[in-house]
C-alpha cells in the first residue's frame, strides 16, 4: 500500500463519518419534531419537576415536609 492509497482510505473514512453524523442528526431532528408534535396534540403536563418536586416528597414518596 502506498501513501496515495492510505490518503484515499482516510478520506473515505472521513466521508463515512460525515455521512454517519448527518444521518444521526436527521434522526435526532425527526425524533425532536415527533416529541414536539406529541406535546402539542396532548394536554399540558401538570407534573412538578426539579427541586420543588423533590422537596415536596419525603423518602417514602408521601407528599409533605
Percent of the chain with pLDDT over 90: 31
Q: What is the predicted pLDDT for the residue at 65?
A: 46
Cell of 55: 422537596
Are the CB atoms for 58 and 50 separated by under 8 Å?
no
In a domain, 24, yes or no: yes
Are the CB atoms for 47 and 53 separated by under 8 Å?
yes
Are the CB atoms for 64 and 58 separated by under 8 Å?
yes
In a domain, 64, yes or no: no
In a domain, 10, yes or no: yes
Give the C-alpha separation, 1 to 42, whole Å: 59
pLDDT band at 7 (very low <50, low <70, confident <90, very high): confident
Q: Does the pLDDT at position 40 exceed 60?
A: yes
In a domain, 60, yes or no: no
16 versus 58: the higher-pLDDT residue is: 16
The count of structural domains within the chain is: 1
Q: Does the pLDDT at position 64 exceed 90?
A: no
Distance of CA 12 to the CA centre of its chain: 27
Domain of residue 24: give its range. 3-55
In a domain, 63, yes or no: no
Amino acid at each position: 500500500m502506498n501513501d496515495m492509497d492510505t490518503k484515499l482510505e482516510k478520506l473515505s473514512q472521513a466521508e463515512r463519518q460525515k455521512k454517519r453524523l448527518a444521518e444521526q442528526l436527521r434522526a435526532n431532528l425527526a425524533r425532536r419534531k415527533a416529541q414536539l408534535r406529541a406535546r402539542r396534540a396532548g394536554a399540558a403536563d401538570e407534573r412538578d419537576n426539579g427541586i420543588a418536586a423533590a422537596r415536596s416528597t419525603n423518602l417514602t414518596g408521601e407528599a409533605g415536609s
